C-alpha cells in the first residue's frame, strides 16, 4: 500500500484547490491601499449612490477592482463593501505611495470590474435603500454626477468622458464605457 506523507498530502490538496479554482489568484486578488482623506464609501460608483459608511483618512482598505476607466473602485473596509473614487485611493507603486490611476492600476494588480444589480443584491440586501435600485441607478446611467464631461448612450452602452478634481487639486480625465 502506498502512503502519502502529511507534507505531500497538503501539497496535493493545494494543487487541487488551484486547479479547481478554489483560490483567488492573479488579477482577481485584492490590492491593499489606504484612503487619502475622510471619504464616503458609496453603494455604487457615483456620488448619486447612498453612503455605506465613511472611511477615515489613512485607513487601510482593500481594492477589489476598478471600472475600466479607473475612475471608481470597488473596495472593502471594516467588513463593508462599496465604491470610492480612485483619486482618493493610494497604493504603493515602485516602492512609493501614489494615487491610484489608470497607468498604475494594472501594474499593482488592480483588476477591471463592473458594477451591476448583482453586485447591489450581493452587498446591500437589508440596507434601508436596498429596494431603490432604479432610483439610484438611473442618474448614474445618465452620467456620473459631480464630473464635468459628456455622456453618450446608444444600444445600452454609455460612454463618458469627464474631468474630476483629485484631493490635491490635480485634474484627472476619465474615459470609459458602461454597458447596462
Cα 53–143–40 angle (5° rounding)?
15
Domain range for 103 is: 27-142
Residue 128 belongs to a domain = yes
**pLDDT by residue (tens digit) across 45-60?**
999 999 999 999 999 9
* pLDDT confidence band for 134 (50 / 70 / 90): confident
* pLDDT confidence band for 153 (50 / 70 / 90): low
Residue 174 belongs to a domain = no
For residues 106, 53, 82, 93, the Cα torsion angle rounded to the nearest 10 degrees is: 10
**What is the model's pLDDT at position 136?**
87
**Torsional class of 90: left (φ above 0), alpha (ψ -120 to 50), beta (otherwise):** beta
**What is the model's pLDDT at position 28?**
55
CATH assignment of the domain containing 118 = 2.30.30.40
Give 96's DSSP letter. Answer: E
Residue 69 belongs to a domain = yes
Residue 87 belongs to a domain = yes
**pLDDT by residue (tens digit) across 62-114?**
999 999 999 999 999 999 999 999 999 999 998 999 999 999 999 999 999 99
Report the number of distinct structural domains present in the chain: 1
Q: Who has greater pLDDT, 23 or 78?
A: 78
Which triple of cell numbers denotes residue 83?
465604491
**pLDDT by residue (tens digit) across 108-131?**
999 999 999 999 999 999 999 999
**What is the model's pLDDT at position 86?**
96
Average pLDDT value for the chain: 74
Cα 112–84–163 angle (5° rounding)?
80
Q: Who has greater pLDDT, 161 or 61?
A: 61
Amino acid at each position: 500500500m502506498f502512503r502519502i506523507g502529511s507534507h505531500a498530502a497538503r501539497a496535493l490538496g493545494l494543487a487541487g484547490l488551484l486547479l479547481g479554482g478554489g483560490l483567488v489568484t492573479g488579477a482577481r486578488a485584492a490590492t491593499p491601499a489606504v484612503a487619502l482623506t475622510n471619504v464616503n464609501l458609496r453603494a455604487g460608483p457615483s456620488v448619486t449612490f447612498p453612503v455605506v459608511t465613511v472611511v477615515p483618512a489613512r485607513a487601510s482598505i482593500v481594492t477589489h477592482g476598478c471600472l475600466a476607466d479607473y475612475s471608481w473602485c470597488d473596495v472593502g473596509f471594516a467588513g463593508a463593501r462599496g465604491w470610492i473614487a480612485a483619486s482618493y485611493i493610494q497604493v504603493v507603486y515602485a516602492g512609493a505611495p501614489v494615487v491610484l490611476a489608470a497607468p498604475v492600476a494594472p501594474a499593482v494588480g488592480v483588476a477591471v470590474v463592473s458594477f451591476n444589480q448583482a453586485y447591489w443584491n450581493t452587498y446591500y440586501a437589508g440596507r434601508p435603500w436596498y429596494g431603490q435600485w432604479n432610483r439610484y441607478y438611473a442618474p448614474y446611467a445618465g452620467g456620473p454626477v459631480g464630473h464635468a464631461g459628456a455622456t453618450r448612450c446608444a444600444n445600452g452602452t454609455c460612454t463618458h468622458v469627464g474631468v474630476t478634481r483629485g484631493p490635491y487639486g490635480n485634474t484627472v480625465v476619465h474615459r470609459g464605457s458602461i454597458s447596462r
